[in-house]
Structure 1
Amino acid sequence: MRAVSAVETTTTTHPWAIHAEGLQVRAGRHLAVNGLDLALPTGVHGLLGPNGAGKTTLMRALATVVSPAGGRLTLLGHPVDGRSELRAVRRSLGYLPQHFGYYPRFTVREFVGYLAWLKEMPRAGVAAAVQRAIDRVGLTSKADARMKTLSGGMLRRAGIAQAIVNDPRLLLLDEPTVGLDPEQRLDFRELLRDLGTDTCVLVSTHLVEDVVAACTDVVLVNEGRLVWRGTPEVLAAQGDAGHAGDSPAERGYSALLRQHRAEATR
């Protein structure tokens, strides 16, 4: 064993958990994220945009799954351009992809514990951290059930549990509410609000109402670029009865996209 210095045990804070400048990311040969500038602090941030807007590609880049093709990306104060920096970021990162893999015969406890091991969590605290993550997503009674026996909504909650098991300082959730019933979505929103007090949470979703209910601000992207950023309240004020949507927030979202597309064709 080696001695741990005071520098290593001191909590480090950064003005921006995510800081991207002119970020470019490819999805195959396509430049799905093209010149994106974004700076996000602690809080819950909703990522909105139509299909093909580059949301999932952006999330994969922020999760260090794919490397940027251009621009600059800094996560938790670390520039994402070297192996040592990536390892430091990944220890403090939680990520739920849109589609995640798992071993069907693993129990929920084993699955979350395995991801805790991959994140290099100290062994002594893993069991308690796993149980806490499972409890927070409402799967206590299913902790020892095999993953293959879970419903779609339960699988999604198990995915959220593995994303939060290490108490990440940066949490990335891609379509986290898919498969959740209305009651579970309400519980999830409450969890997001709790997490956002000391974590930078970025939630990518098509459900505008989830963003309005749980997020401190909204990031709207289209064609790989930042279209608009503001609070849910300001988003709701952007539209009127002439725009598509069942709620003020949805109409505001439609209005901003329409305006962006009109400006792009000029």
Structure 2
Amino acid sequence: MSAVRTADIAPTAYAWEIQAKGLMVRAGKRRMAVDGLDLSLGTGVHGLLGPNGAGKTTLIRALATVLRPAGGSLELLGVSAGGHTGRREVRRRIGYLPQEFGYYRRFTVREFVEYMAWLKEVPRKDIPAAVQRAVERVGLADRADDRMKTLSGGMVRRAGIAQAIVNDPRILLLDEPTVGLDPAQRLRFRELLQQLGTDTCVVVSTHLVEDVAAACADVVLIADGALVFQGTPDRLAEAGGPRDVGDSPIERGYSALLSRPEPERGTW
């Protein structure tokens, strides 16, 4: 049986797991990559879409508390991401997979995920079971004792997903998680997302619109650091027409919204 922290069983004192108002986040010293973003996200799977340079990775890093807001407000699980109070507890309850992550090549998969569980302050007695559960969920149980340096790129990515979920996070942030996964692995990953989304706020940043259509109940589209659209995949598909660029209705909706002049975009 897993140990339960007081914070995990305390009554929920927030309306949304993630709430941003007028959020501004810098990328580097000068460029404001997220500029005046209003966003509220609760339990479920949210797909984060946008062209290159839209501010997706900067936003994910701010949600992971790697970057601090330069303006506006950001609350995670009811705690301000700009302050120090409660930030450590919030980080225990976040899972994060960046686009690129470091690891010791001589670690086995199990050792890598165990180490990340320790960093996230998972109770020591709970770590073995938590690690086993995480590697099984990403389909690496048969490779758990293989060294990281022997894995393919797709397997390394799956190990990264395992470390992100090992602490049973309340907020799970995945930046381009399907890079390197083959079609069958992507299908299994979509199933895992849907399972996780039943009791977790999952944010998936991706360029693959079809992954969003298949796995996400909510789509967030940003461009130039601002919100362009938030709604269901069906509503996104309705925004496009036969003349818009794309091989599917949702791709046509995506391109239609991005091609509109900024004052006409709004939010749905």
Q: C-alpha distance in 2, partners of 1:39/1:234? A: 18
Deviation at 1:81, TM superposition (A): 2.5
Aligned to 1:258: 259
Alignment CA distance shift 1:22-1:114 (3 Å): same
**1:48 CA displacement:** 0.3
Q: Name the Cα RMSD after superposition.
A: 1.7
Do the aligned partners of residues 94 and 260 (structure 1) sit closer, same or farther apart at CA in structure 2, a change above 3 Å counting?
A: farther
Identify unmatched segments of 5+ residues in structure 2: none
Structure 1 residues 8 and 56 mapped into 2: Cα distance closer, same or farther (>3 Å)? closer
- 1:81 alignment counterpart: 82
- Structure 1 residue 10: Cα displacement: 2.1
Output the TM-score relative to the length of structure 1. Answer: 0.95
| DSSP 3-state at the match of 2:169 | coil
| 1:144–1:88 distance in 2 versus 1, CA, 3 Å | same
1 CA distance for matches of 2:172 and 2:245? 31
- Residue equivalent to 1:16: 16
SS of the counterpart of 2:250?
Answer: helix
Residue correspondence of structure 1 range 34-49 to structure 2 within 5 A: 34-49=35-50
- Are the equivalent residues in 2 in contact too, given 1:227–1:260 (CA < 8 A)? no
When residues 201 and 8 of structure 1 are mapped into structure 2, their CA distance, relative to the original with a 3 A threshold, is: closer
Tell me the secondary structure at the aligned position of residue 103 of structure 1.
Answer: coil
Listed as ranges, the matches of 1:171-190 within 5 Å are 171-190=172-191
How many angstroms does 1:5 deviate by? 11
Question: Structure 1 residues 145, 12: closer, same or farther in 2, change over 3 A?
Answer: farther
Q: Which residue of 1 aligns with 2:27?
A: 27
Q: 1:42–1:201: 8 Å Cα contact kept in structure 2?
A: yes
Partner deviation per Cα, 1:132-181 (whole Å, 9 max, x = no partner) = 00000000111011111110100100000000000000000000000000
**Which residue matches 1:100?**
101
1:126 matched to which residue of 2? 127
Q: CA deviation at 1:11?
A: 4.2
- In the alignment, the residues of structure 1 paired with residue 194 and residue 232 of structure 2 have an alpha-carbon distance, to the nearest angstrom, of 15
Tell whether 2:69 aligns with 1:53.
Answer: no
Measured in 2, the distance between the counterparts of 1:88 and 1:38 equals 22
Match of 1:90? Answer: 91
Letter matched to residue 16 of structure 1? W
- Could you tell me whether the CA contact under 8 Å between 1:94 and 1:171 is conserved in 2? yes
Taking structure 1 as reference, are residues 9 and 163 closer, same or farther at Cα in structure 2, changes over 3 Å only? closer
Give the letter for the 1:84 counterpart.
T
Q: Distance in 2 between matches of 1:256 and 1:115?
A: 39
Q: Give the counterpart letter for 1:242 in structure 2.
A: R
Tell me the secondary structure at the aligned position of residue 86 of structure 2. helix
Identity of aligned residues (%): 69
How far apart are residue 6 of structure 1 and its match?
Answer: 9.2
Query: CA separation in 2, counterparts of 1:8 and 1:79?
Result: 16
SS of alignment partner, residue 160 of structure 2: helix
Give SS of 2:85's match: helix
1:84 Cα offset (Å): 3.3
Please give the TM-score of this superposition, normalised by the length of structure 2: 0.94
Per-residue CA deviation, residues 36-89 of structure 1 (Å, 9 max, x unaligned), is 000001000000000000000000000000111111010011111333321011
**How far, CA to CA, are the matches of 1:15 and 1:123 in structure 2?**
32
Counterpart for residue 146 of structure 2? 145
